[in-house]
Chain A
Amino acid sequence: AQKITQTQPGMFVQEKEAVTLDCTYDTSDPSYGLFWYKQPSSGEMIFLIYQGSYDQQNATEGRYSLNFQKARKSANLVISASQLGDSAMYFCAMREGYNFNKFYFGSGTKLNVKP
């Protein structure tokens, strides 16, 4: 079974609108971390946001928030007030167990922001 599933290969959003990128995960470990990374066309991987499995509140970082629904095993990324510079690939990732363990990545969602 896939550890991380991203079901939206591509998404369009109008500039200044909010968009939600879906991510579901699969683990039996009670301790895990969930991450979102942005990959622009230039190729680098930019860390956006982190959510720990024991965190009670949803993580937020500026225009990014993580909608963490533990029972559903989902960790959707919400980008508010989309900007043209948000156009990129977005990857959801998970780390199980110790916080130095490897990351599992999803297949990514290509977000296009329209002017």
Chain B
Amino acid sequence: EPEVTQTPSHQVTQMGQEVILRCVPISNHLYFYWYRQILGQKVEFLVSFYNNEISEKSEIFDDQFSVERPDGSNFTLKIRSTKLEDSAMYFCASKGQYEQYFGPGTRLTVT
């Protein structure tokens, strides 16, 4: 069964460093998303992406964040200068008929 994959599973970085989180959505899906979940809290929407453009972004998704689909398969989230409060689980998702399929997540720890 096709699935969304994400790498790395865990990333530790120092404050102020840039990180790139990678995702491979399900191949025939057209809409992609990034969500984050701070430990013990609800899942929050960051950004949606369609046709090589951002469709919608939340207020969390400020200038420090960017997304890209550099080729036909990868979908990346870049955080330019990480802050302690960026520590969270980051989920990539792609849309099926109605539901969104989530990847296993990348746990980002900013020290």
Chain A interfacial positions (CB closer than 8 Å to B): 33, 35, 37, 42-47, 50, 52, 91, 93, 99-108
Contacts and interface: CB of A to CB of B under 8 A. Distances in A.
B56 A47 contact: no
B87 interface: no
Given A47-B102, A50-B98, A102 B45 contact: yes
Interface residues of B, number: 27
Contacts of A37: 102
B71 interface: no
A45 B45 contact: no
B42 A106 contact: yes
B12 to A, nearest CB: 16
A31 to B, nearest CB: 12
B56 A101 contact: yes
Given A91-B43, A102-B33, A102-B48, A44 B56 contact: no
Closest 3 CB pairs of A and B: A45-B102, A105-B43, A102-B45
B99 A100 contact: no
Contacts of A105: 42-44
B25 interface: no
B100 interface: yes
Nearest to B6: A44
11 contacts: A35-B99, A43-B89, A45-B102, A47-B101, A52-B98, A91-B42, A100-B55, A103-B35, A103-B43, A103-B100, A106-B42
B42 A47 contact: no
Residue among A33, A47, A93 with most chain B CB within 10 A = A47
